[in-house]
Amino acid sequence: MEYKQIPMGLSMALAQNPEAMKKFANLSEAKKQEIINGTHALNSKEEMQQYVNKIISS
Protein backbone atom coordinates (compact mmCIF):
# COMPACT_ATOMS: atom_id res chain seq x y z
CA MET A 1 0.00 0.00 0.00
CA GLU A 2 1.29 3.40 -0.91
CA TYR A 3 1.20 6.05 1.75
CA LYS A 4 -0.71 8.41 -0.53
CA GLN A 5 -3.67 6.04 -0.10
CA ILE A 6 -3.74 6.61 3.66
CA PRO A 7 -6.13 9.36 4.76
CA MET A 8 -4.38 12.51 5.98
CA GLY A 9 -5.87 12.31 9.49
CA LEU A 10 -4.72 8.73 9.93
CA SER A 11 -1.23 9.41 8.63
CA MET A 12 -0.88 12.40 10.96
CA ALA A 13 -2.10 10.39 13.96
CA LEU A 14 0.29 7.55 13.09
CA ALA A 15 3.16 10.03 12.78
CA GLN A 16 2.47 11.13 16.36
CA ASN A 17 2.52 7.55 17.62
CA PRO A 18 5.66 5.73 16.41
CA GLU A 19 4.69 2.44 18.06
CA ALA A 20 1.32 2.40 16.25
CA MET A 21 3.01 3.43 13.00
CA LYS A 22 5.42 0.52 13.23
CA LYS A 23 2.62 -1.94 13.96
CA PHE A 24 0.48 -0.53 11.12
CA ALA A 25 3.38 -0.84 8.69
CA ASN A 26 3.75 -4.53 9.55
CA LEU A 27 0.08 -5.40 9.03
CA SER A 28 -1.25 -7.22 6.00
CA GLU A 29 -2.70 -5.12 3.20
CA ALA A 30 -6.19 -6.38 4.09
CA LYS A 31 -5.83 -5.36 7.74
CA LYS A 32 -4.47 -1.94 6.74
CA GLN A 33 -7.50 -1.42 4.51
CA GLU A 34 -9.79 -2.50 7.34
CA ILE A 35 -8.22 0.13 9.60
CA ILE A 36 -8.47 2.79 6.90
CA ASN A 37 -12.13 1.93 6.36
CA GLY A 38 -12.74 2.33 10.09
CA THR A 39 -11.51 5.92 10.00
CA HIS A 40 -14.48 7.04 7.91
CA ALA A 41 -16.75 6.98 10.98
CA LEU A 42 -14.46 9.21 13.07
CA ASN A 43 -15.39 12.83 13.60
CA SER A 44 -12.53 14.44 15.49
CA LYS A 45 -8.80 14.49 16.00
CA GLU A 46 -9.31 13.01 19.46
CA GLU A 47 -11.31 10.09 18.07
CA MET A 48 -8.56 9.47 15.51
CA GLN A 49 -5.90 9.45 18.22
CA GLN A 50 -7.91 6.98 20.29
CA TYR A 51 -8.44 4.83 17.20
CA VAL A 52 -4.72 4.80 16.43
CA ASN A 53 -3.92 3.95 20.06
CA LYS A 54 -6.08 0.82 19.65
CA ILE A 55 -3.80 -0.37 16.84
CA ILE A 56 -1.12 -1.02 19.45
CA SER A 57 -3.33 -3.27 21.54
CA SER A 58 -4.83 -5.22 18.66
The pLDDT tens digits for 1-57 are 655 689 999 999 999 999 999 999 999 999 999 999 999 999 999 999 999 999 998
Whether 10 maps to a domain, the answer reads no
Residue 4 covered by a domain? no
38 is in which domain, residue-wise?
Answer: 28-58
**In total, how many domains does the chain have?**
1
- 14 within domain boundaries: no
- Report the predicted TM-score, pTM, of the whole model to 2 decimal places: 0.85
Q: How far is CA 44 from CA 2, 4, 13, 29, 40, in A?
A: 24, 21, 11, 25, 11
